[in-house]
Structures are given as structure tokens and as C-alpha cells.
Structure 1
């Protein structure tokens, strides 16, 4: 069973990747063939993902069959993923843009704006049910908000009704984006049931690199920010290794990267 820091790091890196977490959850049902795993989870980089899990001591692969190791079974105890139920939106009411309260310069790019607006009535916990509507959206239990990335624009909808948008060109673009957001939400509320989760959008290394500090400082252990981006995309390193991102001036970059990390 892994116990030293290096082994623990290997397990952490192995489980930092969504496809590998799905593979582990699938294997809690018993031994599977490599082909069965590919059909259930996806065939993209399948051999690579299996190798990472095997190196971490979580699975055993032999003669085309894969099973959890004893450590893998213990690790997954209580972590089995259950199929998500359809989210009921029947109790939610249509929303309106109550106001755009503030237009402020963005921290990351002072030529762009950061807006603060209100949606009414507040959606509260119904925001989680709306996550599948957005290819790059994730609901954060920690802050009770739905975070949506579309290009450079990052939108955060809070359960209390507040809405923030970053990297906006002007007030006109802000109002246009808010209107589209309102229409998308109200269409889902009118149907009463959120759609099934969409297939995740593939993240490319250059897109990750775009939001990294690009200082090539080496503090993460890599020779360059681009090599870090490649390893991050492959699930071999975690975002918290990039210490410059903790600087307040990179706050919005970090927010974008945290959203993208959900799709790696």
C-alpha cells in the first residue's frame, strides 16, 4: 500500500484526471476487459491512463483484463460514483436581469471590464441542476455558485442572485451576454428538467498555457510553463504546483484554469 511521499504523489496524480476516476469507479463493479473499459469510459489515451493507474498501485492489468488491487479497493471504498439523476427544475421561477450595478476594470487586463449584476429571483440550489446546460460550466459546492467559461469571459452565478463577469469589452457586450444567459436558464426552467450532461470539451495544452503566468520560473519542477501545461493536461501534475498563480494579479487566470481542470 502506498505510504511514502512519492507514492502518495503518484496516487494523487493518477486520481486528478476525470477519465481515470471514471475507470476506477467502473472497476468497483469487478474485473473488466480493456475493451469494456474503453466502451464505458472512452478509448482516448486508454493505454496511457491504465498505465498511470497501474504505476500508482491502484489496478492490475493482465492478459487484457483489469482489476482493482487491494489498495485500489480500499481507496475506492465509499467513493463509488452513482449515475446522476435528472435534475428537477419544476420549482424554479423564470429569472430577469434586475440590474447591472458595477462596471470595473479587470485585474488581469485593465482594457477589459468586470461587471457585477443581479438575477432575480435568486436560483439558490437550482443552479447545480443548470450545470449541464453549459459545455464549460461547473457548480462549486464550496461557494454555492455556477461558474461558466466561454472564451475569455468567465461568468459566476451565485445562489443569492449576484452575477459577475470578467474580460468584458463594454457594457453592451455585458448586457448581451446577460440576456443570452437569462434566455438559456429560462428555457430550461420552462421545460422543468435539465438536459443530460454534455460531452466534455477537450482542453488543449496551448489553451492551458494561455492562462499560465508564462514566466518559466521552474518552481513547479518543469523547464517551462508549456511543458507544465502538457503534463497538467495529461493529469500528471496538479494546478497547485504553479505557485505564481497564488499572486493576486493572476487571480482571474487561476479561475479560468480551475474551470478547465474540470475537463482534463
Structure 2
């Protein structure tokens, strides 16, 4: 059973990918052939995904048939219990209001669109982490204490302090409508008093990652093309910070999108 830091790192890396999590949940139903796994989870990079799960000690593969290891079964059981504990009580949370839209500034990447900064009160704090499952493309970041939501090209970031930012907004009217819808969605969850059940995140394809990369094929990341980099990013073979051009001001909005998409890899 993994216990030392290197082994734990292998497990965390193996379970950081949506396809590998799907494979694990599929194997929880019983032993499966590689063909059955490919039909259920997709055949793209299947050998790579199975190899990582084996290296992490989560599954075993013999003569074309895969099964969960004892550690793999215990891991899923522990995760299920932890997810049940996360079904937090929201009965003490207070409804929020949008108190002001403070700024409407041109987006760096597209001067025809705007970046909005607003406030909500009272500050939602830890409620954001609990209600994350409400939003199909939402993820809570412990690092910045914020819930990040992607809706097409618009990215909304709600901070525990009550600050709200939105990118790629057409005008002030759209900003106000989106903020109002956000308020209603959050308050409906608070009114129910119980957090929604955790959900599997939307799967992201390599082409969607590629769409937001610089597409210059500069090779600074060590790969021949931006599309190759996107495929490796999907497979967990590289990291977004290896793409140095994406950190330039002209790609600021692209970077925000890629940071959101990375949560679903």
C-alpha cells in the first residue's frame, strides 16, 4: 500500500485525470477487459492511463483483464466516505446580494469585451467550496479561496471575500444579468440547506486546450507544436507553466480559460 511521499505522489497524479477516475469507478463494478474499459472510458491514450494506474498500485492487469488492487478498493471506499462527509449543511449560510458593480474595464485580449468587478454581501466564505457541484464547469481553488466558473468564453471568479470578477462581458447589462442569475442560483442552494452531491467534472478534449494556446509552435515548452503540448497536458506528461508565452499580457484571458480547463484534466 502506498505510504511514502513518492508513492502518494504517484497516486495523486493517477487520480488527477478524469479518464483514470472513470476507469477506477468502472473497475469498482468488477473485473473488466481492456476492450470493455476502452468502450466505457475511451480508447485515446488508454495504454498510458492503465500504465499510470498500475504504477500507482491502484489496479492490476493480467492477460488483458484489469481489476482493482486491494489498495485501489480501499482508496475508492475512503474517497466515497470523504465525499459523503463533504455533503455539508448549509442551513447556517445567509443569502447573498450583489451590492455593486464597481468597474467595467476593457479586456486585455479583446478590447471589444469587458472585464467586470463587483461585490456580493455577506462574504460567502467557505460556502463556495460546498456549492461547487452546482456549476457544471466550476471548480473551487483552495489556493486563492475562490470559485471559478466557465460559461462559454465568460469566466466568473467568486472570492470568499465577496469580490466577483467576470471576463469577456459584452456590456454592463449582460454583467448585471449574469450577476443576478448567479445570486439566484447560490441563494436557491442556500435555501435548500444541503450541499448538492459531488459530480464528475466535464471531460475536456485536447482540441479545446489547443484552442486557447498561443498556437505559435515556438517550441519553448520542449514540444514540436502547441497541439502536441495540448495532448501531453491532457495525459499529465507536462504542466501549463511550461508554456511561457501564455504568461504574456496579450494571452491573459486565454490563460484564465486554460487554468479553468486544467481542473478537468
Contact 2:19 2:41 in 1 (8 A): no
Query: Mapping of 1:76-115 within 5 angstroms?
Result: 81-83=79-81, 84-85=83-84, 86-115=87-116
Contact 2:149 2:157 in 1 (8 A): yes
Aligned to 1:141: 142
Aligned to 1:45: 42
Equivalents in 1 of 2:25, 2:221: separation in Å? 30
* TM-score of the aligned structures, taking structure 1 as reference length: 0.79
Give the CA deviation at 1:16: 4.5
Cα deviations by residue, 1:55-86 (Å, 9 ceiling, x for unpaired)? x46454113244559xxx6xx99xx6344131
SS of structure 2 residue aligned to 1:94? coil
Give the CA deviation at 1:217: 0.8
Contact 2:217 2:226 in 1 (8 A): yes
Unpaired segments ≥5 residues, structure 1: 1-8
Cα deviations by residue, 1:174-223 (Å, 9 ceiling, x for unpaired)? 01110110110111111111221333222222221121111111122322
Equivalents in 2 of 1:88, 1:101: separation in Å? 32
Aligned to 2:18: 18
Contact 2:23 2:41 in 1 (8 A): no
Contact 2:204 2:261 in 1 (8 A): yes
Give the CA deviation at 1:133: 0.5
Contact 1:18 1:262 in 2 (8 A): no
Aligned to 1:62: 62
Aligned to 1:158: 159
CA, structure 1 residues 107+82, in 2 after alignment: closer, same or farther (shift >3 Å)? Answer: same
* TM-score of the aligned structures, taking structure 2 as reference length: 0.79
Equivalents in 2 of 1:184, 1:82: separation in Å? 26
Aligned to 2:232: 231
Equivalents in 1 of 2:244, 2:12: separation in Å? 18
Cα deviations by residue, 1:103-145 (Å, 9 ceiling, x for unpaired)? 1111222221101001111111111111001001011111111
Q: Count residues in correspondence.
A: 245
Unpaired segments ≥5 residues, structure 2: 1-8
